[in-house]
Structures are given as C-alpha cells and as structure tokens.
Amino acid sequence: KAGVTQTPRYLIKTRGQQVTLSCSPISGHRSVSWYQQTPGQGLQFLFEYFSETQRNKGNFPGRFSGRQFSNSRSEMNVSTLELGDSALYLCASRSGGAYNEQFFGPGTRLTVL
Amino acid sequence: AQKVTQAQTEISVVEKEDVTLDCVYETRDTTYYLFWYKQPPSGELVFLIRRNSFDEQNEISGRYSWNFQKSTSSFNFTITASQVVDSAVYFCALSEARSGGGADGLTFGKGTHLIIQP
C-alpha cells in the first residue's frame, strides 16, 4: 500500500504571496490532518478533515485554510505569507476512529523570504 | 487544556546502552490516547505505538518497551541495547476523544533528540 504523499516537497515563496500544499492519503483513509513543525513551536495541529468536512481545528489564524475532496485528497492553503510561516508542513491520514494511529507523509518544506 | 512534556531535550549514549525517554502528560479527559513517534533525519514521522487511557498494560516489541502509568501521568519509552540506527528525534503525543468518534488533533511534546554513538 502506498504511503501518504505530499507535493511539492520544497517550496520557496516571498512575503505576501499565497501557497497551496497537497496531500494524498493512504488509500481507504478518510481522515486527513495537517501539522506545522517549526524549531521554536514544535509540532502543532492545524486542522483535520473527514469526509470533505473540517472536523477539528487548531489555534491558527484564518490565513490557514484547507479542504478535502471526494477522493480524500486534501489541500492546505496559506494566504498572505509571513516570515514566521516558514516551516515543515506535515500531512497525516488515518482510518477508522480516534484510537487509530496517524500515518505521516514526508512533509513540504516551505521557506518564506 | 492538554499538554505533553518531554523534559529531556537531548540524550546521548554509547551503542548497546539502555536508554529511557520520559513523557508526562496532562489532560482533564478520562478517555484519551497516547502515542510515540520517531522522526529520523529524513523528516518523516514514523508511528511506534499507541495506548488508550483504559489500557495500562506495558508493552514490549523487540528492543522497545513502553511503561504507561496513569497514577503519574507518564508514558515512558525504553530502548534496550541501543543501536546507531535508533538515532532520531522521538515524540510523545496525546489526543483526547471527542463525541462522534473523532478526536482532537495530536498534541506533541517538544521531542527528545536521541544520539547513539558507536
């Protein structure tokens, strides 16, 4: 079974631009979550989508948004990029309920200049 | 609010030594889930183990073992006879159950950077 895939793997943007990251979950997984990893704040939960609906949301500004398609693929969008948005963005998918582990993708390394 | 504390920022041991990574959590819920993940230099988080709050059985998997103690809110991870390939950052994480079968996103500790020297 193929793992979680994320594209692109690396991205360089400038302040004020917007960016869209993509995530394809493991086949059959309907839950997709996004996390931001920075040296200062560590790993932080952004949001979770399940069956095309946002089910949970972390404490991030509205500039961070996402969506999920009928095939469970998900995209994350960050508008009006700030320098502090430079981070590794990780996507994770899960099958079944809350008890099940999340499987993570390799991440997208975003650099904002 | 939930919180996970990994007090050990970095641990360095010589190969074949045993090493224990500490994890202390805080939650008000009675139903919650605990996880350990490994992040090698490649960056991808690798799932190691999960526990729910009603299952305090310790677990052993090869050289890895986990000790879950609700009385002290701890979920510690021990590697026996460590190997260089065990070098990575290890994260402990917690999620609380929500109604409807969902769960909050994972709350991660800051991670412990484990260095195994040959």
Q: Are strands A42-50 and A31-38 parallel, antiparallel or unpaired?
A: antiparallel
Task: Tell which wins on pLDDT, B105 or A5.
Answer: A5
Mean residue pLDDT of chain B comes to 92
The answer to whether residue B84 neighbours chain A at the CB level (below 8 Å) is no
Mutation target among A23, A53, A101 for the B interface, most CBs of B within 10 A:
A101
CA distance B24 to B109: 9
Are A18 and A79 within 8 A, CB to CB?
yes
Q: Which residue has the higher pLDDT, B66 or B105?
A: B66
Please say if the pLDDT value at position A96 is more than 80.
no
Per-residue pLDDT at A107: 96
CA–CA distance, B102 with A87 (Å, rounded to integer)? 27
DSSP 8-state code for residue A80: S
Task: Answer yes or no: is pLDDT of B94 > 90.
Answer: yes
Chain B: give the shortest CA distance to residue A14, in Å.
24
Sort A86 into a burial class: Cβ within 10 Å, 0-12 / 13-18 / 19+. middle
Distance between B34 CA and the closest CA of chain A, angstroms: 9
Candidate from A56, A58, A106 with C-beta closest to B102: A56
Per-residue model confidence (pLDDT) at position B101 = 56
DSSP A83: G
pLDDT exceeds 70 at position B100: no
Write down the pLDDT at residue A49: 93
- Average pLDDT in chain A: 94
* CA A110/CA A56 separation, integer angstroms: 23
